[in-house]
Amino acid sequence: MQGQVTVANLGYPRIGEEREWKKALEGYWSGKSTKEAFVAEMERIQLAHIETQKGKQLDSIPVNDFTYYDHMLDMAVMFGVIPARYKHTGDTVSLDTYYAMARGNATATACEMTKWFNTNYHYIVPEISNEAPRLTENKPLSAYRFAKTKAGIEGRPVIVGLYTFLKLSKGFPAAQLPEKIAQFLPVYVTMLQQLEAVGAAWVQIDEPSLVTDTNAEEFALVESIYDRISKEVPKLNIMLQTYFEAAEHYEKLIKLPVSGIGLDFVHDNGGNAASLAAHSWSADKWLGAGIIDGRNIWRADLDAKLAIVEGLLKQVPAERLILQPSCSLLHVPVSLAREVKMNETIKGALAYASEKLDELMLLKALLNGQQESVTADRDKCRDALAQFRALPERNRRDVADSIAAINGVRDGRNLPFSERVHVQRDKWKLPLLPTTTIGSFPQTPEVRQARLKWRRNEWDQAQYDAYVNKEIESCIRIQEEIGLDVLVHGEFERTDMVEFFGEKLDGFLFTQNGWVQSYGSRCVKPPVIYGDVAFAAPMTVKESAYAQSLTSLPVKGMLTGPITILNWSFVRDDLSREAVANQIALSLKSEVLALENAGIEMIQVDEPALREGLPLKKQDQEAYLNWAVKAFRLSTASVKDTTQIHTHMCYCEFHDMIDSILALDADVISIETSRSHGELIASFELQGYDHGIGLGVYDIHSPRVPSVDEMSEMIDRALRVLDPELFWINPDCGLKTRGWAETAPSLKNMIQAAKQAREKLQNVKA
């Protein structure tokens, strides 16, 4: 009998169909549930995930993809990588310590949080000191036993690879990587040996760092890791999993002493397919073929996928081929079953995590000679995609004409910044070290309840507008009382910073339950860009103009930039991302001009996700940055010289893209820095920045109230390398997720720190 392909999953969304995971976390944090009740609920959710996949009849189900917060935090805690500031003692790590690392507490700041490669998922960055690692708990083993005992399955534990774990950690110079590998590898091997001892057949070791630019010396370290593992854990089958791009050092990779290698055939830009065609596959290895998109929600074109797999089968025997998603399904919503209000034509073109597993099983049936049993499903897929592709919203002539004429649209300011800055100082007359916030203020339960009443038509538009206006006025008065120099309206009418704009632009679809995890319990519903994007009517003018009418201080208009809207949406896959970004940019240009015409002449166009879309290969990054910068400038460059354009970015490796950030030509940029404990400031010690800049002086992701001294220290260090005439003082991000009990005291301390800094500068001048 000819061999048959099998199906595996790489990871399932943690949050649950009704966001039960999020609710359990927040209930525990708020003290509404006991530890025992919380753990019981988390185990129930974990089991439900396993049972769902078991019901799909997958050949291999991942375990240990479930976490109480974040998989990288789990690894750090498991290896005893716990910073001294949390005052941890003993072998067992408590939930209090675990969540203090994630969120901070009254005495210790949280660990840094940053993007997981080029996705919108944020992980907790391990802080590795000189303390020797140890195995505090074998979490993959616990997950394996849980699945076997509770669900009766032989699960496949998922573990972050040691190379990726250390590459993504901080606290040691790059030159010490070999030393750190030598320290951690015995503990890592012990963890695997314990899995081998209880009879685990397969372990999935995720090494996404192997798709990034890796030199020969670094790959030699990878070889040393897997040589050691194969010698000390010989009976355990290792599936070395890569994703998000084409693997580096392919010829060496396929020779590693592992049982299987997982490759992404969706986001590899053809690289993995080309490598496989050029080099013979190792006869003793399984190929995990990532052919269903784990990062987007579009239904697979089964005919196209079959063509890919048939090409793979020329290189790999069927019995050694495992069909799987391109990456963990963490990055997509759980199930379409709860999308009961969606347009049926559009819904027919979508697939969430549950449906993607169904697609894999359908492909398996088609490839394993069971075509007759699934013919109807295959025809249904073809018909659904044909109807969707024919929608007029996806084929707008007016949008096509605008894009065709884009070279004639101005994408540069009239005056260079060196001249604009003087014109703007004369207009605004702000104090030295002006203070502001990033935009949003606390979204209280009352605000969310009011929005819900409006959406349910329990309130009409006039009632809702009156409520929002009341909140705006209260927010303006609070900001005036605190002493901020530049105000915001608070964004009480907004949910998510991308969803709000997508709801008002043509070409977007919004889901009922398309939730994905961004970080911790923070879940977002990314808009779906299914058609051509176009401006319909002003989106923010009403609230911003009302706020400005309440005060003599400047109020910033608040927009989300084109690249962030792009990168935080599920984007149509029939156009290039550049083309979609330009559609969004031209739409936002109309909004910027509408704000300016309404008298709002400080306008913040946020781009926190600019780096997030950066290709993982350096050779592809310049092209992305060029069109991303152009899209931002298309949005903002048509304003008057006196109109001040602000932008905001989350923490990133600033030094390697400073030229592109300068090329945005924003008058003021604010950057999230507090979670990096000021490390970003070191970038400016090597290279200056000659536009306005605000480095976030406190971490809004933590519920703690930072002291004046903490913020003063951050300001003082920044002013050693940045021009005080161009420096702004602000929190590191929006305040939507915080409560007023933390927000007001934190901002008051920030204002006090700003006053102290001004006094120091005045004394120096004197």
Q: Which residues are annotated as a binding site for 5-methyltetrahydropteroyltri-L-glutamate?
A: 19-22, 115, 522-523, 568, 612
Q: Which of 49, 331, 646, 701 is catalytic?
A: 701
Q: Do the beta carbons of residue 47 and residue 241 sit within 8 Å?
A: no
Q: What are the binding residues for L-homocysteine?
A: 438-440, 491, 606
The helix or strand, by DSSP H or E, that contains position 156, with its residue range, turns out to be strand 156-160
At 646, the amino acid letter reads H
Chain centre distance of CA 31: 28
**655 annotated active-site:** no
Alpha-carbon distance 574 to 296, whole Å?
A: 13
One-character DSSP codes across 10-36: S---SS-TT-HHHHHHHHHHTTSS-HH
The SS3 of residue 480 is helix
Q: What are the binding residues for L-methionine?
A: 438-440, 491, 606
Q: Do the beta carbons of residue 609 and residue 631 sit within 8 Å?
A: no
Chain centre distance of CA 534: 25
| Selection from 142, 153, 202, 141 nearest residue 52 by Cα | 153
Give Dmax (Cα) for the chain: 91
Buried b / exposed e over 495-508, threshold 16 CB at 10 Å, is bbbbbbbbebbbbb
The SS3 of residue 671 is strand
Alpha helices in 104-157 (DSSP H): 139-146
Q: Which two tokens stand for residue 93?
A: 């790590």
Q: Do the beta carbons of residue 136 and residue 77 sit within 8 Å?
A: yes
Alpha-carbon distance 6 to 286, whole Å?
A: 10
E strands, 540-667, are: 557-560, 570-571, 602-606, 644-649
Alpha-carbon distance 727 to 105, whole Å?
A: 29
Alpha-carbon distance 528 to 650, whole Å?
A: 23
| Selection from 584, 590, 694, 604 nearest residue 645 by Cα | 604
Buried b / exposed e over 601-640, threshold 16 CB at 10 Å, is bbbbbbbbbbbbbbbbeeeebeebbebbbbbbbbbbbbbe
CA quadruple 296, 522, 591, 692: dihedral positive or negative?
Answer: negative
Q: What are the binding residues?
A: 19-22, 115, 438-440, 491, 522-523, 568, 606, 612, 648, 650, 672, 733
| Selection from 99, 23, 24, 97 nearest residue 703 by Cα | 99
| CA distance to 76, 295, 432, 494, 498, per residue, from 351 (Å) | 33, 11, 53, 27, 21
Looking at the DSSP assignment, which residues form a beta bridge with residue 570? 528
* Nearby residues of 656 by Cβ (< 8 Å), 6 or more positions away: none
Q: What are the binding residues for Zn(2+)?
A: 648, 650, 672, 733
Q: Do the beta carbons of residue 343 and residue 336 sit within 8 Å?
A: no
CA quadruple 636, 637, 638, 641: dihedral positive or negative?
Answer: positive
Q: Do the beta carbons of residue 243 and residue 197 sit within 8 Å?
A: no
Residues annotated as catalytic are 701
